[in-house]
Amino acid sequence: MSSKPRKSPSSPKVAEIARRSVCPVACSLDLLGDRWTLLVVRDLWLGRTRFKDFTASPERIPTNILSERLERLVAHGVAEKVPAADGSKRFGYRLTDKGKALGPILAAIRDWGLTWQPGTQALMTDGGG
């Protein structure tokens, strides 16, 4: 397989992730394994829906990176754009079923961090993964 990124048919702006191998761990990390993506998924899980909500997270994700991660999550079916709840022309985001399936993974990472990373605090509840 070519190492050159391919364009995703659902979003021509977002490059599809080139696979290093057929290993499901490697392929999952190619989508989710950077510094920011799982934090965006966490925020979606916590009920954040609007761009401004994500920028208010304590990690302070840069807006250009946030835009790219949201586009990538939408392009890969992990999140979807939805009309704004306030009826404005803007839109929000929410997890798809594929994205919601990451809940147990987020919970496992949270639990590992609480056990092994001193000084951490949970933002997520068991109901939210």
* From 28-32, 36-40, 69-73, 82-86, the region with the lowest mean pLDDT: 82-86
Lowest-pLDDT range, 58-62, 84-88, 115-119? 84-88
Helix 37-45 with 103-116: angle, nearest 10 deg? 110
pLDDT at 18: 74
Model's pTM, two decimal places? 0.81
Sequence-distant (6+) residues with CB within 8 A of 59 are: 36, 39
For the chain, what are the domain ranges?
Answer: 36-116
Q: Can you list the pairs that 85-91 forms with residues at least 24 positions away whose Cβ atoms lie under 8 Å?
A: 85/49, 90/50
Q: What architecture does CATH give domain 36-116? A: Orthogonal Bundle (1.10)
User: pLDDT by residue (tens digit) across 113-129?
Assistant: 999 999 999 976 654 44
Least confident span in 36-45, 53-62, 81-90? 81-90
